[in-house]
Chains A and B, each alone.
Chain A
Amino acid sequence: MARVATSEKQCTVNPLKMSQPIGAALAFMGIENSMPLLHGSQGCTSFGLVLFVRHFREAIPMQTTAMSEVATVLGGFENVEQAIINIANRTKPGLIGICSTGVAEIKGDDAQGFLKLIRASHPELGHIALVDVSTPDFHGSLQDGWAVAVTRMVEDLVETPPLEARLSRRVNVLPGCHITPGDIDELRDIFEAFSLDPFFLPDLSGSLDGHIPAEFTPTTLGGISLEHIRRMGSSCWTIAIGEQMRGAAITLEHRTGVPYKLFERLTGLAANDELMSFLSQISEVPVPRKYRRQRSQLVDAMLDGHFYFGGKKIALAAEPDLLATMAHWLREMGCEVQAAVTTTKSPILQDIPVEEVLLGDLEDLEARAAGADLIVTHSHGRQAAERLRIPLFRIGLPLFDRLGAGHQMIVGYRGTRDLVFEIGNIFMANAHEPTPETWIPHERHTSPLVTLEISQPVQ
């Protein structure tokens, strides 16, 4: 049982966290023909946009209400109205997702009220879905923004009562923000192998998986259609991935009666056994041969790999659901989580196999990572890893100094198997070769422990 602590520092150094509005914007990018709109100054959008461009290496649809100082004082109604009209004319989207920012929230702009007025005075915009979500920058993190945006889409877009009778093959899948386009592709294959028909909300696999569209589009390149979202009330089950999606799953259940099952993670042998058993039960299809074989491959990978994982010390920093996924899985493989740093509160943090989970930054991680065998975090960990000379396994968002961020895949038996290889190979490559001095007792030369303490940054 981990103690959850908050960093006492006044100055955040080398942030781990990103802001809520861009998490919400990312969720809207998983909808077909959609345009996320940040209600704030233009910098709010341009920073988020650049971040996603560097991560996905794709064009990112994202707009701004471009609040000026005067507009901020007088209120942003005209800017929201003008932005929606301009977007409607220029890019013809099916959905505009309006995410508030710190600027809009402090002013107290009532986005829902704005949208009512805009609806009333612009009947010509009737065909465009408008979803607003409250995501102040000074609260929560990217993961929270994603979660609340999905909940808002469920509230505003799913038809109640359901449009059709319950369909026994249809399932809803609510992936957390840590589930990559590559993960979704893999999960879709798994669901379909059980003759199930999954609706992913959001679905980044069609929009940010890096593919060549037939035509140029200024909105999202793909994603779940609004029509499919409307029909989510007719599914027989909702499968939520990551604790962050519980809120959206419960909302969907309350509104439509579709029961939900939450998987805290889909990385690891036991976690996937649970998934396969569940899918087999709800579909009444026996676990396909392909997955029995993949399970066997994973078991073999674990046997081959455990030599390199056992006793390794890991310093981890990620948003809560990804942190939990990696911490539990690494522990299962015999590693010890030496340090765990995260961004925002979550009920799963207390179960993480580590003494303390710290809500902090990458300076905190660096201070706690000395002597670790591996640092696991996003690309911003590269400076700390360099200074400490500890290998870095990059995971999460942003990954701006590696290719293929959208296709990093760690779910299912296959994803877990490849993760065993990838991280096991890092351990192998960094194994300490013995030297004539290796086995000389510590007291006869400078203890490495002492050197490590000296090299820690001054607190």
Chain B
Amino acid sequence: MNQRGKKLQQVFEEPACATNQAKPSQERKKGCNRQLAPGAAAGGCAFDGAKITLQPITDVAHLIHGPIACEGNSWDSRGARSSGPQLYRTSFTTNMNEQDIIFGGEKHLYKAIKEIVEKYDPPAVFVYQTCVPSMIGDDLEAVCKAASKKLCKPVIPINVPGFVGSKNLGNKLAGEALLEYVIGTEEPEVTTPYDINIIGEYNLSGELWQVKPLLDELGVRILSCISGDAKYHEVARSHRARAAMMVCSKAMINVARKMEERYGIPFFEGSFYGIGDMSEALRSIAQLLVGRGAPAELLDRTEVVIRREESRAWQRIAPYRERLAGKRVLLFTGGVKSWSVVAALQEAGMVITGTSVKKSTPADKDRIKELVKEDAHMFDDLKPREMYKMLKEAQADIMLSGGRTQFVALKAKMPWLDINQERHHAYAGYEGMVALVHEIDKALSNPMWELVRNPAPWESAAGMEALSIQIA
């Protein structure tokens, strides 16, 4: 089995993954890669997933080894923000041509790495393998190893050809690359008892900055965020953190678990979305740090901050109640993460009338039932056509979902809010929940809806009558 094959097997057998634990051992070996249906598939490939995971590292040159499609069609499309370096927004690709296909792309790749190092001198180069070089047998690891040596610069192989699987698998393989080549390769200058890692947070729309001021106030230092607004050296030194938070999705669970195993860094799984979840996250961070020897007074200070911020957030949400009370929300999103926003929506008086449970586990479904209480519809697999019909018949007042269903809602003239990762607004922490309610209010109260929903006057007798009266 080649190196990538071994990595894949490891990722599939991830013991900390709850879905995996629930499977019998034979099935576990087969991996969590659902076979995709040709002609009925949606979503990105493993390379896509790896880039999503690692590109937020801001000072690194991200080089994509492949034909123009992989990078040329996709670059500068995500909203991960940086507080400093901008190199991560520069796009690098070998743009392979026929020559490379015939003679192999290894020399081309090496020269490209060399050019980057000479021109841009980044702290490291991350090289992503795609399908085409993988098919023709370019040895990514060997080229990166040789380049590291010759150029005296970390050159990190990320072996993620798209055809090995889904975006989620790519997230995990990217994490494996960090574990193997980056994390633990450097030592921090100073450490404190308050050092934490945040794993699986990408600082989209600057969401990390909605949370960081509170951590700053508590004296908690983010030694490394993997990978939002991160710098290479921070990730390389992240093994000295005292505790870690793994942010909602399971995409990086392998990183959290292996860092615990190798470096003794305890972690918890938490979320910054939703007021209750945010408080729980702060509390858990404090508890883990105190458990590792930080002074116990941190717990009290944390409670003070939580109490203050919670009451401030509820106070700021309350004025929306009058306008939002009774509004019906359709919530369509991937995993369970969106459920942490439900409490805030309910606090503002809104009612959840339907949700998708396509990717939810039985435990998730129970939690949903508990949260919505009343009989909200749980849809297993709602086809766009049926969704359109529902929206057209105004069985809801607003839909919150990801970009994929945006136009189904808009074409049905239904208010819509993006709550997936491509969104342009930051919804994390206490600030974020207030912002979300504010955005919903803005969407719902726009006078435009009434105008666009009215049919043209000549399309109804009543409309024509109104017109003729005006003329008379």
Contacts and interface: CB of A to CB of B under 8 A. Distances in A.
Interface in A421-459: 457-459
Contact of B41 (A9, A47, A59, A63): A63
Nearest to B40: A86
Contact of A50 (B41, B77, B111, B164): B77
A41 B97 contact: no
A11 B77 contact: no
Interface stretch (A12-20, A191-199, A292-300, A406-414): A12-20
Nearest to B76: A380
Contact of B38 (A14, A79, A137, A380): A79
Contacts of B101: 106, 138
A412 B149 CA distance: 59
B107 to A, nearest CB: 9
A161 to B, nearest CB: 35
B403 interface: yes
A106 B63 CA distance: 22
A59 B402 CA distance: 13
A86 B36 contact: no
Interface stretch (B43-51, B188-196, B239-247, B439-447): B43-51
Contacts of B132: 102-103, 106, 137-138
Contacts of A37: 39
A54 interface: yes
Contacts of A139: 97-98
Interface in B64-83: 66-77
Given A67-B163, A218-B385, A9 B115 contact: yes
Contact of A47 (B69, B112, B403): B69
B163 A72 contact: yes
Interface residues on B, range: 35 or more
Interface in B22-71: 35-48, 63, 66-71
Given A11-B115, A68-B163, A18 B43 contact: no
A138 B96 contact: yes
B119 interface: yes
A43 B47 contact: yes
A101 interface: yes
A458 B119 CA distance: 6
A66 interface: yes
A138 B98 contact: yes
A64 B74 CA distance: 17
B162 A44 contact: yes
A103 B112 contact: no
Given A12-B93, A141-B68, A216 B408 contact: yes
B90 A12 contact: no
Interface string A72-109: 10000001101111110010000000000111001100
Interface in A28-63: 37, 40-48, 50-51, 53-54, 57-59, 63
B91 interface: yes
Interface string A357-383: 000010000000000000000011001
B416 interface: no
Interface string A210-223: 00110010100000
Given A44-B69, A69-B161, A72-B163, A51 B39 contact: no
B320 interface: no
A65 interface: yes
Given A82-B38, A103-B135, A22 B164 contact: no
Interface residues of A, number: 69
Contacts of B90: 13-14, 383
A444 B384 CA distance: 69
Contact of B91 (A15, A63, A82): A15
B13 to A, nearest CB: 18
A10 interface: yes
Contacts of A80: 38
A176 interface: no
Nearest to B46: A43
Contacts of B46: 43
A182 interface: no
A21 interface: yes
B68 A17 contact: yes
A43 B39 contact: no
B68, B76, B162, B166: residue with the most chain A Cβ atoms closer than 10 Å:
B68
A42 B39 contact: no
Interface string B350-376: 000000000000000000000000000
Interface in A199-232: 212-213, 216, 218
B40 A19 contact: no
B222 interface: no
A193 to B, nearest CB: 25
B164 A48 contact: no
Contact of B74 (A10, A47, A65, A106): A47
Nearest to A63: B39
Interface in A136-152: 136-139, 141
30 contacts: A9-B115, A10-B94, A10-B108, A11-B63, A11-B92, A12-B92, A14-B75, A14-B90, A15-B68, A19-B69, A19-B72, A19-B73, A42-B42, A42-B45, A43-B70, A46-B45, A47-B73, A57-B407, A59-B408, A71-B163, A72-B163, A79-B38, A86-B37, A87-B40, A103-B163, A137-B67, A138-B67, A138-B96, A138-B132, A383-B86
The 5 closest A-B pairs by CB, nearest first: A43-B45, A83-B39, A86-B39, A11-B112, A19-B69
Given A15-B72, A79-B38, A136-B67, 12 more contacts: A11-B112, A12-B93, A17-B72, A46-B45, A47-B70, A59-B384, A86-B37, A87-B40, A101-B69, A103-B135, A138-B101, A400-B77
Interface of B: 35-48, 63, 66-77, 86, 89-98, 100-101, 108, 111-116, 119, 131-132, 135-136, 161-166, 384-385, 388-389, 403, 406-408, 411-413
